[in-house]
Chains A and B, each alone.
Chain A
Amino acid sequence: MKQRDPELLLQHAPFLREGKTTPSVMVDVLIALVPATLAGLWYFGIGAFLVVMASILGAVLTEVAFISKQHRGESLLDGSGLLTGLLLGLTLPPALPMWMAFIGGAVAIGLGKVIWGGLGNNLFNPALVGRAFLLATFPIAMTTWTTADESFWTFRASNFDIPFTYTEIDGVTAATPLGLLKFDQEVTPLSDLFMGTTAGSIGETSGLLLILGGVYLFFRRDLDWRIPVSILVTVLIFSGILGLFDAERFPAPLFSVFSGGLLLGTIYMATDPVTSPTTPLGTWIFGIGVGLLVILIRVFGGMPEGVMYSILLMNAATPLIDRFTQPRVFGHLRGDRD
């Protein structure tokens, strides 16, 4: 009998792995976003496609440019740059000039991720950093909304503005449901919000498809369900309580959930593992904080929408939340450290 004496490896236990990898998690999130993205493209036409592409390109090129050669392979392979670009693109208005979307993508990766030390080290959600930058820099373009065009192939001139110029929009502009409520006291029917036939950012309009993606992520165990659940429940309860005071003035609970970027932000951005707490108790606090801030900003702030700032503010609080919500170690009394 042959007895081989192999050059034995000396790898260490554990030898079994659950099988999930960081790139596979990113790919799952991309898959979950496909229905909502396609719906946005179908609904808003070729302009939306160009905006999303410009944002992705800005993100990925920045990643290539700023990450050292040594780490570039992993950094591109993990798919997080692509995901950031896509998420940012989905929060942009469909008539935005492509060059702005490109800069947004570049800022999202550059200021949102690379300068922090790359994936896993950033404090704020990169896509939202990009969006906050765009909203501060190009407030008019970022709040000019359009409704659906008749044909997919209707090109909007504003999409093709040469860099550092902006032409006022030529098509039909429209207000988002939140804008309508805030400035015109006009309530959009829930069915429109659910199906996505309203004005708004490219990826935020269809509540149904966004939730579908969230359910997929939940079953793939890629999503901490506590965060969306706590945000949505807080929004429902808080807006319900406000409704008791003045049902005319304050938005109804279900309207609050399905309007604006709440579902997109809740399911795909607040759950960003890098920028949300790791402890179970911490995730509840984080979610409740986001929910409260969203309603406060929407109802009492000067802008109709507040999801982005709510998530960014709670991102800033995450290290502190993590610090104070460390679980009790097995066999220790709570608070007892030796």
Chain B
Amino acid sequence: MVKLNPLSLLTRSFQHGVHPQYLKEQTQDLPIQRVPFVENYVMPLGQHIGVPCKPVVEKGQRLQRGELIAEPGGFVSVSLHSPVTGVVNEVDEFRTFDGNFSQSIEIKADPFAAQEPAIGPAIDWESMGIDDFIQTVQAAGIVGMGGAAFPAHVKFSIPDGQQIRSLLINGAECEPYLTNDHRLMMERPEALLKGAEIVRQKLGAEEIVIGVELNKPEAIEILHQHIKPGDPVRVESLEVKYPQGAEKMLIRTVFGREVPAGQLPRDVEVNVSNVSTIVAIADYFDHAMPLIERIVTVSGPGVSYPANLIVPLGTPVRDVLQFCGGLKDEAMEVIMGGPMMGKPIASLDAPVVKGCSGILAFTEEQTLKRREYPCIRCGRCVEACPYFLNPSRFARLARARMYEEMEEYSIFDCVECGCCTFACPSAIPIVQLIRTGKDQLRNTQASAK
């Protein structure tokens, strides 16, 4: 058990962190729209963290929307379903957003199909045992949709001797620009509460806490309206601070507890799930719709018409951007995710995947390589790091290739949230240097084995 800093009880938030501009005005008031269906869909088999799935379809096979196309490749793996009615065109390597090739299933949409949503009967969850529930969530293809895409059912598998007291639903959405969770909480509060109740009962948790940053007052208001008196649900308004939505920071803010290093939220009797994940679970139990689409915020100064969109998985990024009026001429870079932790998209032909919460297009202002100055040891990174690490030291050690020392200073506690680099006045690419250090350490450790 981690000893509590007495100060932490006084402050209603985690310590350190940064305050970027939130830049959500462009899309926060735009209702969620559906993008039209396109010709081609590419479903990579490894959209989640863990083992890739195994395809169960062949070239030329006809598919219904929502039909199973690949099964889990192991326990830490989920099923994959067809996002459209169409024909399997190819099972081959296709380019993913990071520029690499990855085994994928290409599906040609049937131009004459109505693309009716795959609605089936509601699934009786109340009489279901926990093991069945876990299998069902895995079969629905549901992963954590905040960005990491970790299979949801693995998080729900609680080892013997442990129990979950609180289901913490992450609606912080602390990444700038992104508004997909915000809109989802406003437009589908019933589904969110329904899904939360299902998970709460199956995990045997006592309460549901929905954490929402204070810059989404309408979402907080709507959730309050939908909670009936006596429901074991409360909404926690959170200080607007990055990275409030980082799992361990959220737990620290809401419960005042630190998850010990190397352990998981369940070790402090908490399960954290993103709002989109919970809604996906509700959708599956309500009308058997597996995870075949997700909500994506398309925004940034390089996009003509920003929007919050329901995008079928596998839709090429190019088509999503085209629906939003295309890139502006001054657009220089497109990324997947938020501006603090998102990843650059190497090719616009890459498909939208389960972990894609946003597609942002940036102009010169965001991508300009800033002139780097020497570290002046100002300590701004130290004061920004929510994990109380010393990022400037990591940067120095990485430049000197002293990777072992980086490990001594707990480099693997770093989650690469980017606060240090955001705060650095000398424009030192601290996060990238830390990643280099981690990669080098993993390589030496792997070759030692």
Contact = CB atoms under 8 A, between A and B. Distances in A.
A68 interface: no
A224 B383 CA distance: 11
Q: Which of B262, B426, B432 has the most CB of A within 10 A?
A: B426
A12 B340 CA distance: 9
B367 A331 contact: no
Contacts of B334: 8
Interface in A132-168: none
B344 interface: yes
Interface residues of B, number: 77
A276 B382 CA distance: 14
Given A25-B378, A224-B379, A14 B373 contact: no
B3 A119 contact: no
A4 B326 CA distance: 8
B344 A120 contact: no
A273 B109 CA distance: 60
A16 B379 contact: no
B53 to A, nearest CB: 28
Interface in B336-359: 337-348
Nearest to A332: B261
A278 B390 contact: yes
B260 A331 contact: yes
Interface stretch (B156-164, B286-294, B416-424): B416-424
A279 interface: yes
B325 A1 contact: yes
Interface string A230-272: 0000000000000000000000000000000000000000000
A18 B345 contact: no
Nearest to B261: A331
Interface residues of A, number: 49
Contacts, number: 181
B272 interface: no
Q: Which of A9, A16, A24, A332 has the most CB of B within 10 A?
A: A16
Given A4-B326, A18-B422, A9 B332 contact: yes
Interface string A116-129: 00111100000000
Contacts of A119: 373-374, 376
A80 B426 CA distance: 13
A17 B422 contact: yes
Given A4-B329, A331-B259, A21 B426 contact: yes
A7 to B, nearest CB: 9
B55 interface: no
B421 to A, nearest CB: 5
B344 A12 contact: yes
A328 B376 CA distance: 23
Contacts of B340: 13-16
Contacts of B154: none
Interface string B1-32: 01100000000000000101100000000000
Interface string A53-90: 00000000000000000000010011010000000000
B75 interface: no
Nearest to A221: B380
B327 interface: yes
A120 B345 CA distance: 35
A278 B382 contact: yes
Contact of B392 (A5, A18, A23, A278): A278
Contacts of B371: 74, 77
B133 interface: no
B358 to A, nearest CB: 12
A203 to B, nearest CB: 22
B35 interface: no
B181 interface: no
B374 A120 contact: yes
B418 A6 contact: no
A58 B413 CA distance: 46
A3 B319 CA distance: 9
Contact of A14 (B318, B339, B369): B339
Contacts of A80: 376
Nearest to A275: B377
A121 B344 CA distance: 34
A326 interface: yes
B382 A25 contact: no
Nearest to B333: A9
B425 A329 contact: no
B3 A333 contact: yes
A15 B339 contact: yes
A278 B395 CA distance: 14
Contacts of B362: 15
A22 interface: yes
Interface in A302-338: 326-334, 337-338
A328 to B, nearest CB: 6
A57 B14 CA distance: 48
Contacts of A21: 370, 373, 425-427
Given A16-B176, A327-B388, 8 more contacts: A8-B346, A11-B367, A13-B338, A14-B421, A21-B425, A23-B373, A74-B372, A329-B389
Counting from the closest, the 9 A-B pairs by CB-CB distance are A14-B418, A120-B374, A331-B261, A278-B379, A273-B378, A9-B333, A22-B373, A15-B339, A330-B387
21 contacts: A1-B326, A3-B327, A8-B333, A9-B333, A9-B367, A12-B432, A13-B335, A14-B341, A16-B176, A16-B366, A17-B422, A18-B423, A21-B425, A25-B376, A74-B371, A77-B371, A78-B373, A119-B374, A278-B377, A330-B413, A332-B413
